[in-house]
Amino acid sequence: MSAQPTSSAAVTAIPAGVFCAQDYEVLARKLLPAPTLAYLAGGAGRDITLRANRLALREWSIWPRLLRDVTGGHTRVALGGTPFTHPLLLAPVAFQTLAHPRGELETARAAAATDTCLVASTLSTHRLEDIAAAAGPLRWFQLYMQPTREATLGLVRRAEQAGYAALVLTLDTSIQPPSHRALRAGFRMPADCVAANLSAAVGPSGESAPASRIFQGLMRDAPGWDDVAWLRTETRLPIWIKGVLHPTDAARLQQAGAAGLVVSNHGGRSLDGAPASLHALPAIRARVGTDFPLLFDGGIRCGEDVFKAVALGADAVLIGRLQVYALAVAGALGVAHMLKLLREELEACMALAGCATLADIGPGALLAQPAAAMPAHWQDEPSDGRTDADLD
CATH number at residue 287: 3.20.20.70
Report d(CA 55, CA 308) in Å as an integer.
Answer: 13
Q: Is residue 18 part of a domain?
A: no
Does a structural domain hold residue 154? Answer: yes
For the chain, the farthest-separated pair of C-alpha atoms sits apart, in whole angstroms, at: 74
Burial pattern 194-223, b for ≥16 Cβ within 10 A else e, equals ebbbeeeeeeeeeeeeeeeeeeeeeeeeeb
Residue 176 lies in a domain: yes
Counting beta carbons within 10 angstroms of the beta carbon of residue 255, is it exposed (0 to 12), middle (13 to 18) or buried (19 or more)?
Answer: exposed
Out of 126, 266, 279, 337, the active site residue is 266
Decide if 198 is inside a domain: no
* Total domains in the fold of the chain: 1
Strand spans (E) along the chain: 60-62, 77-79, 82-84, 88-90, 117-120, 139-143, 167-170, 239-244, 260-264, 294-297, 316-319, 366-368
Q: Look at residue 327 and tell me if it is in a domain.
A: yes
Question: 157: part of which helix (H) or strand (E)?
Answer: helix 149-161
Domain membership of residue 383 (yes or no) is no
392, part of any domain: no
Is 101 inside a domain boundary?
yes
Model-wide pTM > 0.85: yes
Contact 315/294 with Cβ under 8 angstroms? yes
Spatial separation of the C-alpha atoms in residues 124 and 168, rounded to whole Å: 14
Host domain of residue 303: 23-190+229-376
CA 315 to CA 294: how far, in whole Å? Answer: 6
Per-residue pLDDT of the chain (392 residues; tens, 9 = 90+): 344 454 445 778 899 999 999 999 999 999 999 999 999 999 999 999 999 999 999 999 999 999 999 999 999 999 999 999 999 999 999 999 999 999 999 999 999 999 999 999 999 999 999 999 999 999 999 999 999 999 999 999 999 999 999 999 999 987 778 899 999 999 999 999 999 999 854 444 445 555 544 333 444 567 899 999 999 999 999 999 999 999 999 999 999 999 999 999 999 999 999 999 999 999 999 999 999 999 999 999 999 999 999 999 999 999 999 999 999 999 999 999 999 999 999 999 999 999 999 999 999 999 998 765 555 444 444 334 444 433 22
**Is 266 noted as a catalytic residue in this protein?**
yes
